[in-house]
Amino acid sequence: MNDKDFSIFENKIGISFKNKDILMRALTHRSFINENRQLGLEHNERLEFLGDAVLELIVTVHLFNAYPDKTEGELTAYRSGLVNTSMLSSVASTLSVNDFVLLSRGEAKDTGRARQYILANTLEAIVGAIYLDQGYEKAQKFIEENILTFRDDVVDKRLWQDAKSRFQESAQEHANTTPSYRVLEEVGPDHDRLFTVGVFLGKDQTAKGEGKSKQEAEQDAARMALEVKNW
């Protein structure tokens, strides 16, 4: 059963939902439904789909207006830096989403990269729920207050730059070598694969990363390697 008080979360984000069921749906992961079918709840994947589009539109419009001299490619890179899994899961953690999301017992025990995906996806679902329940302007305000505040950091510190490119440049500069990547593990069904990729300098594994595609896992591994090496 659900014993979470979602009104605390509403207070946390400063939004009182007209339809409380929409908020509950946004915070309900598919795994919880599988264990609690008798409750008749819906999971959050449709809201995640909607929220992803709303988030992308609002961030895109903001960047378009903020950087009138930047090219399409540069704006795309900035947007990617603001809406990637790491950023969204970090924002979700700050908002204590982890304390309110409804998960299966198994998922609730997982605190690794898989949890980051769940938190990022849940944040997108929350954006979708805000848009449906409160309208575009409230969704825009939520995104401006919780995600776009990181814009200057992302742009000025070049956090938007492709992590593999950054790590390759750093590896050539500091270690005089080019990194290589290797798939270490693939799990899950074809429609929901999770790849684990290792990044190597010579024969030594520097770090590993996870993603829903090999490319995403390689990017994650490169980000982890930059942190490990402090480059």
Average pLDDT over residues 41-60: 96
Same fold, 6-156 and 163-229: no
**Is residue 212 exposed (0-12), middle (13-18) or buried (19+ Cβ within 10 Å)?**
middle
- 134: its two tokens: 């409160």
The pLDDT tens digits of the residues spanning 88-140 come to 999 999 999 999 999 988 777 776 667 888 999 999 999 999 999 999 999 99
pLDDT band at 12 (very low <50, low <70, confident <90, very high): very high
pLDDT value for 129: 98
Q: Quick check: 124 and 51 in contact, CB under 8 A?
A: yes
Q: Quick check: 189 and 177 in contact, CB under 8 A?
A: no
- Give the separation between CA 91 and CA 97, rounded to whole angstroms: 9
pLDDT value for 2: 61
pLDDT value for 41: 86
* 163-229: CATH number: 3.30.160.20
As a whole number of Å, the CA-based R_g of the chain is 19
Q: Quick check: 41 and 33 in contact, CB under 8 A?
A: yes
Does domain 6-156 fall under CATH 1.10.1520.10? My reply is: yes
Average pLDDT over residues 67-83: 92
Higher pLDDT, 38 or 62: 62
Whether the predicted pLDDT of 159 surpasses 80: no
Give me the residue spans of the domains in the chain: 6-156, 163-229
- 213: its two tokens: 């595609």
Average pLDDT over residues 133-161: 92
pLDDT value for 216: 85
Average pLDDT, the chain: 91
Average pLDDT over residues 14-28: 96
- Give the separation between CA 171 and CA 228, rounded to whole angstroms: 12
Catalytic positions are 52, 124
- 156: its two tokens: 């000025």
